[in-house]
Amino acid sequence: MKSGFVSIVGRPNVGKSTLLNTIIGEKIAIVSDKPQTTRTRIQGVHTCDDGQIVFVDTPGIHKPKHLLGEYMVKVSTRSLDEVDLIYYMTDVTRPYGGGEQYIIEQLKSVRVPVFLLVNKIDLVEEDKIKQFTQDFLNEISFSECIPVSAYKKINIDMLLQKTFQYLPEGPLYYPADDLTDQPLSFIVSELIREKALLLTRDEVPHSLAISIEEFKHQGEDKIYVRAVIHTERDSQKGIIIGKNGQMLKKIGEQARLEIEEMLSASVYLDLWVKVQKNWRDNEGNLNQLGYRL
């Protein structure tokens, strides 16, 4: 049996979390069109007849502007030394630039196979894919170069077959029916954050964090969740709550429906909003919210 750990790295918004969800077959990592949506490492487990792959989805590598950003970059770069194989994911619709060059410099020193994944190939002509790929091949030698569409599920089966060829023989690290190492409370908090990202304006999303204050079963098929949405400024709190509480209600309704579907249970979602000034630059606040290496 083959088994091992595979890290998915790349710039923000190239489709890393979408790829993870597609392979696992369940939504374990939230997605949005906002950069730096993924803030910490999330492990997804794919088990089949060939063996087991533990995927490590990481935050997009970017130039940090605060302590949270520094934490995110450390999470991503540290993962390069802790896995058996690396997927370097790129977006064929975005030009090669300084962000790619920085990541490639990090990859030049790793000692494990690196796959170049050229994502979103469903959105461009084949000639564009070849031209785009060559910029990367001029910089570094990759073990494999695979064009994919994480959203359209193009070449995903081939990607998995190639991955097993490079992984060592080993045990099952997780039970065969496990999909992630994350607790339910974390996934619930991320689903709430996802809905807030989708529904609020551009100046709010990066300043949001979610903490689950209470998560308890009330009978066989009822769950009570009390969650706090943390913002950095009073003005952001006002946007999250909305006129007559309508925005907060909308966030809660959309999150509750998805949480209920995931848990197959009736959920009472009790949402609160709290201002925690400059929490992204406060180490104590970051630790309280779970952002610790």
Structure tokens belonging to residue 38: 């993924």
Same domain, 139 and 223: no
Same domain, 201 and 68: no
Q: Is 148 exposed, middle or buried (0-12, 13-18, 19+ CB in 10 A)?
A: buried
Q: Does any domain span residue 178?
A: no
Scanning the chain, the segments in alpha helix (DSSP H) are 16-24, 67-78, 98-107, 126-137, 156-166, 184-199, 234-241, 246-263, 283-288
**Looking at the 3D structure of the chain, how many domains does it have?**
2
> Band of the pLDDT at 52, cuts 50, 70, 90?
very high
Q: What is the pLDDT of residues 144-162, one digit of tens each?
A: 999 999 999 999 999 999 9
Same domain, 102 and 188: no
Same domain, 135 and 235: no
* Residue that terminates a domain, selected from 107, 136, 166: 166
**Among candidates 6, 21, 16, which has minimal Cα distance to 39?**
16
Q: What is the pLDDT of residues 93-107, one digit of tens each?
A: 998 888 899 899 989
Same domain, 7 and 118: yes
Same domain, 214 and 92: no
Q: How does the average pLDDT of the chain come out, rounded?
A: 92
> Band of the pLDDT at 180, cuts 50, 70, 90?
very high
Q: Decide if 127 contacts 14 (C-beta within 8 A).
A: no
Same domain, 118 and 86: yes
pLDDT at position 290 = 85
Same domain, 86 and 231: no
Same domain, 13 and 148: yes
Q: Does any domain span residue 192?
A: yes
Which residues span the domain enclosing 45? Answer: 2-166
Same domain, 91 and 152: yes
Same domain, 213 and 265: yes
Share of the chain above pLDDT 90, in %: 70
* Residue that terminates a domain, selected from 132, 166, 200: 166
Q: What is the pLDDT of residues 181-235, one digit of tens each?
A: 888 999 999 999 999 999 987 768 778 999 999 999 988 889 999 999 999 999 9
Output the domain CATH number for residue 224: 3.30.300.20
